Chain A
């Protein structure tokens, strides 16, 4: 526990936590804004910009007696420093006196600004930052009205320096605060940015290969206090005052990054509301103020010309555009004929409201076939029991704590958790990374564990005797499903639960299991009774009618076969894909940006997203489409709003009791408040307006009796003679239409490839960069071979959703054969 001390700021006493940063303490406890440029609460203070100069003094005590020395008028004597000191590098302690408004301090601020502006270009009218620029704001507040600098003496520097594919640097605008350099170094751990030269010629450079291309690069444009760093996507896209920030949740991945969609009525897009940019929205429980580049740049799918705009129905074997009513009629007819032989499969972006509507429809027709896509997941029961306790913060993990990551490449699957795990390790937490191959998180691990195919369960089962884990004050376990079959994934989650229970790390804050699910709302699907196992059963024996919502079931051979086997397939989808091509009725649905809804992240936090743009074509929210379908089957007419669906959901699903839209819209206080509306720390992260969500408590928190269920690893996939085990990997950047629609990212999405160990490659005759054919389970893919010494021997690592064509999503024995390059004939 930190103790509280009394300090005086501008003559007024305040009680503040001992050792707190002075700038933060003044801002939070006294409401006094000490202006800053380089200081950022998420990074170590450096005192570079000198903007936070304050007058610092201490009360005087008699050396002999320790008594306070008093002035004749009875007030304590204060010994002021001879010079001003930087507030950001000062921590508060008892007896400290601070003056922030003296003539000397004001003069210092004026002078610092005059220097900063001595070579700053006057292009605010065309600068992306203009209007939300800390340099503009602080100049207005503290700066000189005019400059004594001769205009001709300004340095003119490059204004369009690409630091990578996505970020541009304007050297003239840079004020050398090093926020971007420190972000790359301290937060991301990839120091590809640095200063070059010095004095007036100091510049940001990168000479690394590859350059500035982390999955987090966009965050530097948020924290840049001027318009020096801009994204290739938003550059010259809009003026900040034209933008309306609509709170939302990232539809990509299990973290549930809180974001705001900056909307504008856009002439070039036909006068409709469009997302001009995506910025983080502060939520210290989830993503702090960081978002991945996938979330930032992967929004273009919402207005993609490829979106489904109208309903389709099969006429004489061909999918033909039809009126929505006719499509619903055809679908309802098939459903009536099917009785209860109806199956439901929800995909990764399906919201809780949609899942609930599906569940109601299923109950109405008497079906219990509630499936979740992908079909490769274990069950969520272990996470419901010992999932990370509510109110936990990964940012609080540090010395004495442990973080265990098993079977997951966090950087690719959940970039924000990669940052948080890495930073926990930086703060002294033991980070143990166990996987069948090397991943980037290994760099920061205190220990790495390499197991063979099928060895994950054995490792985790034995981990309870590991002293680091057993003795850790707090323990967080991330469990993914890389290299695991669905059964093995289920067993591994159970083994993680066992570990947490036996080592006494269940049900306590900052402890528990985090399943690294593939989708933004996979957890919500589980919560509403949808199971990956149910999908597997449907793939085994298809029901008469399959209703598929936002899931490309045909991306696996088994899924494609089930769609063929079902008599009638109803697909609700954003995009035409292999699944809609096999459907009998296709109904267009709305993306997360067009509608209200909620996603539940993998830490069980239910979070709201809001309507930001108009609907595309005739699309409706999936819950409404499902409701209309139900109405034709004799159910009540669909509810009038997502809020009412959520109300009904909260009444019928115990875990979600009390989670009404108004409750979810409440924003927890963020400390320190970095979002735009307080505006103090500068940068373009939004305030938590719109709500920070609610977490449902795991069973362990209610002091339920927890028991260990012994686990046994299922038989691992075995490769026959001449075969390799083809292991699918999840990569952040893939060719799924929800991401590939962002043309700005195309340069960053790899060509379809498979990674092979050099000895396997040599044995198979595959060369680095040559084409190979993968075949397994009746499917085949044509990809480029990448010979990679970090790939385990005997495995072929295949990133998913890069190559077109169906392929199994679980490890599978298969053949890898070089394809003879066709010789161009003259």
Chain B
């Protein structure tokens, strides 16, 4: 339960708003961080916390694309392929990235590491090709830098997995 595990953070979130219902977005981020995506139970938990109906929470999670409603990979890569980025080769880059990872548009790698999807403008046209990974930007990409990043993430994940195995996960 979020309420028990993150009592302090929830209290801090509520302190920021005059009306508890206004905290719904912050709580959705918290739930996503905890469960990897916005689960059905999380909606019910949040609804109970802010005093609304679970359907209303689900509706908000559904409206915003930054909330995941299904399990996704550990690294969620969103590549902008809008017109200005495409002019700088983003569409070609995107195709190559999919090929590199061996998945389809919107797919997840079998090891659960990467989910790749194309998105509309991320407001970094001048630095395209670019992508957003778990809400962090990576810009001026080509396949070489991308391969390096992928290797780096895989290594990181390995470290995390090992740490988790011995019960000593580093703080994110």
Contacts and interface: CB of A to CB of B under 8 A. Distances in A.
Interface in A170-209: 190-198, 205-209
Contacts of B52: 191
Interface stretch (B54-62, B129-137, B153-161): B54-62
Contacts of A207: 40, 43, 54-55, 58
Given A207-B40, A207-B43, A192 B55 contact: yes
Contact of A193 (B43, B55, B62, B63): B55
B53 interface: yes
B58 A192 contact: no
A207 B40 CA distance: 8
A195 B54 contact: no
Interface string A311-347: 0000000000000000000000000000000000000
Nearest to A201: B62
A198 B63 CA distance: 6
Interface residues on A, range: 10 to 19
Contacts of B44: 209
Contacts of A191: 52-53, 55-56
Nearest to A203: B62
Interface in B45-72: 52-56, 58-59, 62-63
Interface residues of B, number: 12
Contacts of A197: 62-63
Contacts of B63: 195-198
A195 B60 CA distance: 8
B17 to A, nearest CB: 20
B53 A208 contact: yes
Contacts of B54: 207-209
Contacts of B58: 194, 196, 205, 207
A635 B62 CA distance: 73
B156 to A, nearest CB: 32
A384 B43 CA distance: 51
A196 B54 CA distance: 12
A81 B97 CA distance: 50
A205 B62 contact: yes
Contact of A196 (B40, B53, B62): B62
A195 B62 contact: yes
Contacts of B55: 191-194, 205-208
Nearest to B61: A196
A189 to B, nearest CB: 11
Contact of B59 (A190, A205, A209): A205
B57 to A, nearest CB: 8
A193 B55 CA distance: 6
Nearest to B52: A191
A205 B60 CA distance: 12
Contact of A195 (B40, B43, B53, B59): B59
Contacts of A208: 53-55
Contacts of A190: 53
A192 B52 CA distance: 10
A194 to B, nearest CB: 3
A814 to B, nearest CB: 37
B53 to A, nearest CB: 5
A186 B53 CA distance: 14
Interface string B60-86: 001100000000000000000000000
B124 to A, nearest CB: 23
Contacts of B59: 194-196, 205
Contacts of A195: 59, 62-63
A192 B57 CA distance: 10
Contacts of A198: 62-63
A206 B63 CA distance: 14
In this complex, which of A195, A205, A206, A207 has the most chain B Cβ atoms within 10 angstroms of its Cβ?
A207
Contacts of B43: 207
A198 B52 CA distance: 21
A194 B55 CA distance: 6
Contacts of B40: 207
Nearest to B44: A209
A198 B58 CA distance: 13
Nearest to B63: A198
Nearest to A197: B62
B59 to A, nearest CB: 3
A193 B62 CA distance: 13
Contacts of A209: 44, 54
A194 B52 CA distance: 12
B28 to A, nearest CB: 14
A805 B63 CA distance: 53
B77 to A, nearest CB: 21
B82 to A, nearest CB: 16
A192 B56 CA distance: 7
A206 B43 CA distance: 12
B62 A192 contact: no
Contacts of A192: 53, 55
Nearest to B47: A208
Contacts of A194: 53, 55-56, 58-59
B61 to A, nearest CB: 8
A195 B58 CA distance: 9
Interface string B12-32: 000000000000000000000
A193 B59 CA distance: 9
In this complex, which of B43, B55, B59, B63 has the most chain A Cβ atoms within 10 angstroms of its Cβ?
B55
A206 B54 CA distance: 8
A275 B52 CA distance: 39
A190 B52 CA distance: 10
A287 B150 CA distance: 65
A520 to B, nearest CB: 33
Nearest to A195: B59
A358 to B, nearest CB: 49
A196 B62 CA distance: 5
Contacts of B62: 195-198, 205
Interface in A763-789: none
Interface of B: 40, 43-44, 52-56, 58-59, 62-63
5 contacts: A191-B52, A191-B56, A194-B56, A198-B62, A207-B58
Given A198-B63, A209-B54, 9 more contacts: A194-B55, A194-B59, A196-B59, A197-B62, A197-B63, A198-B62, A205-B55, A205-B62, A206-B55
User: Lowest 4 A-B CB distances belong to which pairs?
Assistant: A194-B59, A196-B62, A207-B58, A194-B55
